[in-house]
Amino acid sequence: MRPTVAPFPAARFRRLRRLSALRDLAQEHRLSTADLIWPVFVRDGEGVEEPIASMPGVVRRSVDRVVAAAREAAELGIPAICIFPFTDASVKTDDCVEAWNPDNLTNRAVRAVKAAVPELVVMTDIALDPYNAQGHDGFVVGGEILNDETVEALVKMALAQAEAGADILGPSDMMDGRIGALRAALEAAGHQHVAIMSYAAKYASAFYGPFRDAVGAAGALKGDKLTYQMHPGNSNEALRLVERDLSEGADMVMVKPGMPYLDICRRVKDAFGAPTYAYQVSGEYAMLQGAAERGWLDGQKVMLESLLSFRRAGCDGVLTYFAPEVARLLGRP
Ligand code: PBG
């Protein structure tokens, strides 16, 4: 049913734009602090906050500083943080064993945060790239990214993270069959309350560049991720992936990157109505921050406008490096 539009002058759209209060009343979509997931980078050390050159305003934090960030998130009303490890080249190996070490950086950070701020949701990343000497999300043998062997490793990684206390696991690797394998392993191990947010429609994107600097994977990575991440030209494939991951037991699904893929967010939400999230990735953040630093854009305004676009496109929430800044502006939900 199409809404009726009276001919001019009966219909004057400017009537409802005249006052700020009228605009508020007529506003269809809103951004709230409750929609934010804050990705944070953890590194080793004590009392360290180390800037990341390609992501102005974002730092790598030692575990104690991640705990401080978690307290800040809770105070600001941000519901969740997502932890990504910056691993030293010395722990990156071909067999990626550090990925399921119960005492690796991620798991130590998860335990510390859950002990200090139990009410804050902690999300983790499941993929081998921070621990892989080859920089890929899966095992590399003879130039090939192995699928099934990688899924077995992801299961070990997931169980270690669940054991550490993660509330949401975020498989970002794009291997086939991993959601079903993770869900079955979590159930069998008594972790039936742990949620999975599948990076279901994750594109092989050049917008991840600054992130790979942030986690120290840029130097290790040879080639691209086109044999496992999606081709940017595809859209129906995203729906099939989301359907597959939901049917295997994903609780939430993600589209990534964000702004260049808002059409995918909308299609996913319309098709399944599942809890749907977008990741405003490092390159999107860097573009906006870079232009704002030069005075070419109003940083605050483009930050809020870019995040509102995700809500309009049907997303229930957004992973964004702007989370604390936005929360300070918008206030507690
Ligand atoms: C790796 C991973 C990536 C991001 C999150 N998890 C990078 C990649 O796939 O190469 C990107 C996040 C960002 O760019 O902000 N599994």
Each residue of 52-67: pLDDT tens digit? 999 999 999 999 999 9
17-25: average pLDDT: 98
Sequence-separated (6 or more) residues with CB below 8 Å from residue 297: 288, 291
pLDDT at 219 over 80: no
Which is more confidently placed, 42 or 214?
Answer: 42
82, β-bridge pairs? 39, 123
Catalytic one of 92, 114, 225, 256: 256
DSSP state of 264: H
Q: Nearest C-alpha to atom 2 of ligand 1 is from which residue?
A: 172
Q: E strands within 1-120?
A: 36-43, 49-51, 59-62, 80-85
**Crossing angle, helix 262-272 and helix 299-312, to 10 degrees?**
30
The pLDDT value given to residue 297:
98
Position 214 confidence tier, pLDDT thresholds 50, 70, 90:
confident
For the chain, which domains are there?
A: 32-330 (3.20.20.70)
Q: How far apart are CA 186 and CA 196, in angstroms?
A: 10
Phi-psi region of 253 (alpha: psi -120 to 50; beta: other; left: phi over 0): beta
| Burial of 227: CB neighbours in 10 Å, binned 0-12, 13-18, 19+ | middle
What mean pLDDT value characterizes the chain? 97
pLDDT at 330 over 90: yes
- Least confident segment among 1-10, 186-195, 240-249: 1-10
Q: How far apart are CA 326 and CA 55, in angstroms?
A: 16
The pLDDT value given to residue 4:
84
Q: Is the CB of 125 under 6 A from ligand 1?
A: yes
Q: What is the pLDDT of residues 124-142, one digit of tens each?
A: 999 999 999 999 999 999 9
Annotated catalytic, 202? yes
pLDDT at 220 over 90: no
**172: CA distance to ligand 1 center in Å?**
7
Residue that has been written with the tokens 């399944």 in this structure? 272
- The CA-atom distances, in angstroms, between 71 and each of 30, 60, 222, 303, 308 are 25, 16, 38, 23, 25
Based on its alpha-carbon atoms, the radius of gyration of the chain, rounded to whole angstroms, reads 20
pLDDT at 212 over 90: no
Q: How far apart are CA 324 and CA 38, in angstroms?
A: 7
- Contact call for residues 127 and 137 (beta carbons, < 8 A): yes
The pLDDT value given to residue 251:
98
Q: Is the CB of 284 under 6 A from ligand 1?
A: no
Phi-psi region of 45 (alpha: psi -120 to 50; beta: other; left: phi over 0): left
- Contact call for residues 128 and 147 (beta carbons, < 8 A): no
- Contact call for residues 285 and 297 (beta carbons, < 8 A): no
The values of phi and psi at residue 41, to 5°, are -100, 130
Q: How far apart are CA 47 and CA 18, in angstroms?
A: 51
20-47: average pLDDT: 98
10-31: average pLDDT: 98
Preceding peptide of 102 cis, ω within 30°: no
**22: CA distance to ligand 1 center in Å?**
41
Q: Is the CB of 213 under 6 A from ligand 1?
A: no
pLDDT at 2 over 70: yes
Q: How far apart are CA 65 and CA 163, in angstroms?
A: 22
- The CA-atom distances, in angstroms, between 184 and each of 105, 123, 191 are 25, 19, 10
pLDDT at 204 over 90: yes
The pLDDT value given to residue 90:
92
Q: Looking at the CA of residue 281, tell me the nearest atom of ligand 1.
A: 15
- CA nearest to 222, candidates 128, 122, 115, 134: 134
pTM of the predicted structure, to 2 decimals: 0.97
Catalytic one of 92, 114, 202, 269: 202
Position 267 confidence tier, pLDDT thresholds 50, 70, 90:
very high
Provide the Cα torsion 110, 111, 117, 120; round to 10°. 40
**257: CA distance to ligand 1 center in Å?**
9
**92: CA distance to ligand 1 center in Å?**
17
How large a percentage of the chain has pLDDT more than 70? Answer: 100
Position 1 confidence tier, pLDDT thresholds 50, 70, 90:
low
- Least confident segment among 92-96, 183-187, 219-223, 292-296: 219-223
How large a percentage of the chain has pLDDT more than 90? Answer: 95
